[in-house]
Structure 1
Amino acid sequence: METRVKEDKSEAILNSQFLNWNACTNYDLATNGRIWVLWRKGIDFTIIQISDQCITIKGSSLGSPVFISAIYGSNDGSARMRLWQTIREVDHIVNQSPWTLGVDFNIFLHSEESSDHELLGNYVTPDMKDFQDLSQDIDIMDHPYFGPTFTWSNKQQEFFLARKLDRVMINSTWASYFPHSFVEFLSPSIFDHCMATMWLSKDSPINRPKPFKFFNFWAAHSNFLNVVRHSWLPTIHGNPMTTLITKLKRLKITLKSFNKDNFSNISDRVKLKRLELEQQQILTLKGEESIVKEIGLQEDLILLEEAEAEFLKQKAKVQCIRDGDKNSKFFHSIVASKNKRNIIRVLVDDSGCILESFDSMSQEVLSFYSNMLGSADASLKEVDPNLLKELIDYSLPSEASTNFIRDITDEEIHNAIFCQGNDKAPGPDGFTPLFFKKTWPIFGRDIIAAVRYFFSHIFINPAFNSTIIALVPKIPNPSTVKDFRPISRCSVIYKAISKILVSRLNFYIPDIVSLNQSTFIRGKSIMDNTFLTQ
């Protein structure tokens, strides 16, 4: 807590208002005691460090030490250099333990965090550069938060200035240990700074069962294809499209059990297997057991480490991975940070009301897009269809119809499946393109029959036709629905059908699209016409 209470009055306030609390202040090191740290009696905290701009305490949670640093940075840049040095020293003490630090650094990190950014443009001052270097050197980041971007203002009407001088920062270990922690910046009221509030375990509004998702590392298991084949062989009656979706639903149950038996809690399995190997190595070196068992455990550990690396890679959506990156803190921190960033805990509607329940937030999202898609712009006039025909003025050549209606070949279907990226996010059915590629020898014929059935009967099973609409944040700390970008995630079968249709249209697209619409032509860019004009 940042305070301006003088030392002679502090004891009376602490004794009257915080009788059942422990307190740590820095009056001995700073004029008027810039920082108070308070915690309820009965909670075990140890004071680690005290300086004029920072107090650090240490507690325990989930069997791990937890560090909290209360920051009140100086207004003077040279004095703040002492704070940066103090934080670096605390970082050595913290090591790899969870750590959070904040709130008033009295300096902002980026020029966009100041209201004069639009006037001055991008800039970096020496004080900002020192802060940026610190955050990069010790690998700390902003905790995702709800509330205003600017946390301080000068309250002046004529020369108004607002900046983000206050922030709650965490290290990557904190994000892993406290995945449900939540930060909110409240309105400043009569003060010039916003107050920050942190919850360690503010759960998301609803905890529904997670849908099935295929993880690509399952396919590397030696028994994977046998498990799939055993589930797939029993006959299903119905049309090819129904047969395929029914078998896939049945396979989900089998794969869930397969994952539970072999890969559940994959990171814990790696740690236990590594410990088992170390113990076995001791027995081998003592001559009590042969090297054979040690080699077997080492092979098991390698398989589990590779599976964990693939799991983290798929979760983190990192496209390139080096051998040295396997099982590193890098991937764990990315996954933890993504989870924090992607969970929607709070939304604000058009009236400024804060929505925290699942039902209220889901209704707000539905209303937003329904209004956007279902409303007509009164200023737009109806267009004469004949005018559009004159503008397009194009007719497909006679051979085009023959090309469009010719039978779909096995090769076209095969190519439409295998050209999809292995790590593409799955649709509602949860299966990735890699799954279909790995299992093609088992049920490739079923996929071909289902796709052929669509083109012959103009019917697609609703399970393949459904789409997940994922909301991806457009800004660092979204608060309204418009701060999210909707992304469609379709099933692999749906994409395959679309790719076949597109591949047959590709040959005629250059003739259909006007010359000035270069962005629709493969190999051309929307900027081409601009460059030609210049």
Structure 2
Amino acid sequence: MVRFPSEKLSNTPPVLQDMLDFNDCLASCHLDDLTCTEVDMSWTNKQDFVTRVWSKLDRVLANHGFITTYPNAFGHFQEPGISDHSPILVKISQDKKGSPMYCFFQKLKNVKHALTHFHKLHFSNISHRVQSAKNALMEGQKLKMSRTLIAARSIFLQKFLKEPISRIFWGIVLLRNLRYDFISQGAVVTPSDRQSLIREISPTEIRDALFSMDSNSSPGIDGFSAGFFKLAWQIIAKDFCKAVNQFFSSSKMSKQANSTVISLIPKKAIPTTVTDYRPISCCTVFYKTVSKVLANRL
């Protein structure tokens, strides 16, 4: 049994309902995949190329208690040998020390187990309730749309017609000249500016970058939005800042932080071609924070 479509390669794709049932079973048992060495497919039927099937049937599952007790435990896939399955060797270490970035994302992973259980208890059928609220909102918007558009058009025309055309023209000319002067002179970086750019990242900068994000923006692959980090800032601030500073000191970002989901958002009600979709990249909040810190420095 596989959890995701990407875990099987064959002429027949995996059954969606089977994957949903399997994932629901793991969630109800509070089990999740233990971190393993990267092996895309751990089983094959070893038939000829046309009928060959590759699948990730072998996995290591662990509960919250095991992950909390052994945060550095991981599974190592070995060569299948004469078998059609790849054996897994689980390595356990009681040393809870690790890089700040690793520790931070391990704690996020542990929190996700508790949140999944909480969600099932208190927010079942949330999609149906959201759709009902959305339908009610759309009906209310339809009633007010015509009046709002007429009023906005009237206000715009009144302000535009009162403004002398010459003033608008010379305003455009002035903006063009200012842009030309800026480009011709160029930006000058002083020694103090250089020192400011390379100084150590402060917790205030990290907090300002995080809190400048929209709380309801799309979450990354870990499922945590900026709103979660803001609400839990008093708890996670120390670990989060250590993880961010680790990136700036080592110039390396872990796989958990750097993973991105590319989603296709339909532009119309019934999309029929690829151009009818708008792709967006759902990065982790950690990745966005690092980007904003860099942008604010520049």
The higher relative CO (CA closer than 8 Å, separation ≥ 6) is in 2
TM-score (norm 1): 0.29
TM-score (norm 2): 0.50
Task: Identify, as 1 or 2, the structure richer in helix.
Answer: 2
